[in-house]
Amino acid sequence: MKIQLSEHFTYRKLLTFVFPSIVMMIFTSIYSVVDGLFVSNYVGKTALAAINLILPFMMGISALGFMIGTGGSAIVGKTLGEGRHEKANEYFSMLVYVTVVLGIAVTVLGELFVPVMAKALGAEGELLSNCVLYGRLTLISMPAFMLQNVFQSFFVTAEKPKLGLGVIVTAGVTNMVLDLLFVGIFGWGLAGAGVATVCGEFIGGLFPIFYFSRKNSSLLRLGRTHFDGDVLLKTCVNGSSELMTNISSSIVNALYNMQLMELAGENGVASYGTIMYVNFVFISIFLGYSIGSAPIISYHYGAGNGDELRSLFRKSLRLIGAWGAGLAVLAQLLAYPAAKVFVGYDSELLAMTEQGFRIFCLVYLINGFNIFGSSFFTALNNGVVSAVISFLRTLVFQIGAVLILPGIFGMDGIWSAVVVAELLTLCVTLTFFVGCRKKYHYA
C-alpha cells in the first residue's frame, strides 16, 4: 500500500511510513559498528582506539551531506505541498549536484589533513599510523557517503522510503560480509575494515543516482537545473542544525577521547568507542523517525493543514516517550552482553565498558525529544530554532559537562556528562515547543 504525503496519518500509517527510515538509519549505523566489532576482536584494542579517534573527523566532514539532505528535503517537501512539482525537481537536482562537487572537494582536503588531525587528537606511534591508514582509506568513498546521507531524506520526500531502505540494507550487508571476508578470513586487519566500508558506501551513494536519473514512479527525478544561491543558502540554514549536530558531535567526541586518554589511556578510548557503537544503533530509532516524519510535516506545513500538524505533533511525542522508556530498560539488560561482544577479551576493559553504559543509557529517556524537536523545526523551515537546539545540545552543554563532571566524579562523570547535557537541552526544547505553537499551529 502506497502512502502519500498528502494523506491523514493515523498511528498505523505513520509507523508504516517511517519504519523504513528507522531501519535505514540502523543499517547506516552498522557501518562503523561492524568495523569496530571485527577490528576489536581480530586486530586488537589499539586498532579499535584508532578508529574511535579518527571517526569524529570523518563524521564531521560527512555532516555536509546531512545538512543538504535534511535542509533540502524540507524545502522540496514544502514546495511539493504548494503544488509546484517542477520547481521541486529543479531544487532537488541542484542540491544533488552541489553535494557531488562538495564531496570531491572535502575528500581532497581530508586526505591532506588526516595526519594533522590524528596528531592533534593525541595519536602517536602505532596509533597514529592506524588512524592515518583508516582515515585515508575511508575518505575515498566520502562523496558517495555524503550522497547516501542526502538521499536518505530525499527517498522519503519522493514517497519511496522502502526503496531507500533497500539501498541501505544492501550497502550494510555488503559492508558486513566484506568485513568478515577481509578482516576475519583474509586477515587484512584495519585496511580490510576500511575497504569494506568504502564498498558499502559506494553502493549506498551511487545507486540512487542511477534511479533518480531515469524515469521513475517517485515524486522526484534528476534533470536539468540552474544554480540558485538563495535556495542553497536556505538549505544550509535549514539544515544547519544537522550540520551543527554532526560537527559538534565530532568536536565533543574528540574532547571525550582526550579526557579519557588522560584518565584511562587507550582502554578509556576503546571503552567509550564501544558505548558509542551501541548508542549509534539505539538512537537510530529517534533519528530514523525524525527523517521519516519530516517530509510529512513539511508537506502539511506547505499545504496549510494545521489539523494534521497538530495530530502529527501529538502522536510523535507519545511515540518518542514510549520508545525512550523501552530503550532505557533494554540498554540496562544489554549492558553486559553488548560490552562482552566488543571487548570480552579484556576483563578490565569489559568492566569499565559495562559500568559506563549503565550510566550512559539513562540518556534515552530524554534525547529522543531533543532529536525530534530539532528535526521538527527544520521541517517547518525554521533552521534558526533547530540550530539553537542542536548547538546547545551537542556542543555547549556537552562541553561544559565533560569538562566539569570528570573533575568531580572521575570516570562516572564522563559517562553521565551526556545525560546532564540532554536534560538541560530538554528545557530549551520544551520552551521552543511552547513559544512557537501559535505561529505554526501545531499545538
Residue 32 has a pLDDT of 62
pLDDT digits (tens, 9 = 90+) for 382-413: 888 988 998 888 888 988 998 899 888 888 88
Low-confidence ranges of the chain (pLDDT < 70): 1, 31-32, 241-242, 266
Residue 31 has a pLDDT of 64
Whether the predicted model's global pTM rises above the 0.85 cut: no
Residue 139 has a pLDDT of 94
Residue 371 has a pLDDT of 93
- Within 10 angstroms of residue 86's Cβ, the number of other Cβ atoms is 8
pLDDT digits (tens, 9 = 90+) for 252-272: 777 777 777 777 776 777 778
pLDDT digits (tens, 9 = 90+) for 71-80: 898 899 889 8
Residue 10, burial from CB neighbour count under 10 angstroms (0-12, 13-18, 19+): exposed
pLDDT digits (tens, 9 = 90+) for 405-419: 988 888 888 889 989
Tell me the C-alpha distance between 320 and 316, whole Å. Answer: 6
Q: Is 129 left (phi over 0), alpha (psi -120 to 50) or beta?
A: alpha
Residue 100 has a pLDDT of 95
Residue 202 has a pLDDT of 95
Give 282's contacts (C-beta < 8 A, 6+ positions apart).
327, 331, 361, 364
Residue 377 has a pLDDT of 92
Residue 1 has a pLDDT of 58
Residue 212 has a pLDDT of 95
Residue 307, burial from CB neighbour count under 10 angstroms (0-12, 13-18, 19+): exposed
Residue 286 has a pLDDT of 94
Cell for 294? 519530516
